[in-house]
Amino acid sequence: MDNPRTVESASTEMIGRSTVRESSLLADIKSLIKVGIINSNLITTFAGFWLALYYTGSSFIDHWVTFLLTMFGTAFVIAGGCIINNWYDRDIDPIMSRTVNRPTVTGTMSLSLIKALGIGASVIGFVILMFTTVQAALFGAFGWFVYVVLYTMWSKRRYTINTVIGSFSGAVPPLIGWAAIDPGLQLEAVILFLIMFIWQTPHFLALAMKKKDEYEAAGIPMLPVVHGFEMTKRQMVIYVACLLPLPIYLASLGSIFLITAFVLSFGWLVLGIAGFFMKDDYKWATWMFLYSLNYLTIIFFMMVIVTLPFPF
């Protein structure tokens, strides 16, 4: 007869191993779908959806099902694109510290399974978006194609302009949200797209400066790697300056939004110019990166706040 303590110990060990496997699997999935990217893109998707309600005089309560379909569909499309990106970049990810723990590197998930998950999530996302409007699904497909094909598979390893190409993909989510309510779009929807498109270059170039050595080792021709920090700083400041006039086209959101947007853009521009006088480029790049995250969160949060009473 087995010793009860031995049986209990073995049982506890099996439960522990099962918990570790579940925890590891969850971590692998989060790594594959890039949760941070999904969350930030869903914020802008929601803003596009919400402002479409505002400008068309529609009620959120009447469109709550469409809202859920839009958010889940967008999340699946983005997740699918990110998974395929990881699958394709499996040869360079071991070189970079921020990607070295992905399951495509560690081997905790088979490459065939990862590829299937990417394709499956993408298809599910497109199908879900089709239940909103055809235009929303087409915007989702366009963003996916740009990210997976034009950025990941074509430009990322060849051209310094890869960041700009990828920005088209990242600027699509607010259009998906808007098109789910108003397929015809409006000028305000285009402005949301432009804000996101312009925002991404200084955001990702700041990250590229921070990770310059890793990108260089991986053979990725990011702007700081090919043309150095001074050129990168100039490009970042130009893009930030281009954000300054855009909120004017959203003047119908009110003076509180306009003032907030201008202060945020002007503050980012001042910080960008300060980079030409700072000795520690890596410290400046970190500040620019963090500022960009706060800029995006606050400006899109304010779009919703200043229109809160209307859609209900």
Residue with tokens 């379909």: 69
Contact (CB, 8 A) for 32 and 86? yes
Give tens-digit pLDDT for 6-28. Answer: 444 444 444 444 444 445 878 88
How many of the other CB atoms lie within 10 Å of CB of 245? Answer: 10
Q: 144 is written with which tokens?
A: 């996916």
Residue-wise pLDDT for 250-271, tens only, equals 999 999 999 999 999 999 999 9
The type of residue at 151 is Y
What is the C-alpha separation between 59 and 64, in angstroms, rounded? 9
Distance (Å, whole) CA 228 – CA 30: 33
Please give the angle made by the CA atoms of 130, 40 and 81, to the nearest 5 degrees: 50
pLDDT value at residue 23: 56
Q: What is the pLDDT of residue 262?
A: 96
Confidence band, pLDDT 50/70/90 cuts, at residue 312: very low
Compute φ and ψ for 238, nearest 5 degrees. Answer: -60, -45
Confidence of residue 103 (pLDDT cuts 50, 70, 90): confident
Kindly state the percentage of the chain with pLDDT values over 70. 92
* Span 291-308, pLDDT tens digits: 999 999 999 999 999 998
Structural domains for the chain: 15-305 (1.10.600)
Q: pLDDT (tens digit, 9 = 90+) per residue, 193-226?
A: 999 999 999 999 999 999 999 999 999 999 999 9
- Residues 205, 207, 208, 212, CA torsion sign: positive
Which residue from 258, 164, 262 is spatially nearest to 205, judged by alpha carbons?
A: 164
Q: pLDDT tens-digit profile of 134-177?
A: 999 999 999 999 999 999 999 999 999 999 999 999 999 999 99
**Do 27 and 283 touch, CB atoms closer than 8 A?**
no
Q: Exposed, middle or buried: residue 18 (CB in 10 Å: 0-12, 13-18, 19+)?
A: exposed
> CA-to-CA distance for 199 and 152, rounded, in angstroms?
20
**What pLDDT is attached to residue 310?**
53
What integer pLDDT is reported at residue 3 of this predicted model? Answer: 55
Confidence class for position 93, pLDDT limits 50, 70, 90? confident
Mean pLDDT of the chain: 90
- State how far Cα 29 lies from the chain centre: 16
| Residue appearing with tokens 């909103």 | 132
How far is 155 from 51, CA to CA, in rounded Å? 33
pLDDT band at 31 (very low <50, low <70, confident <90, very high): confident
pLDDT score at 108: 86
Q: According to the model, what pLDDT value does residue 100 have?
A: 81
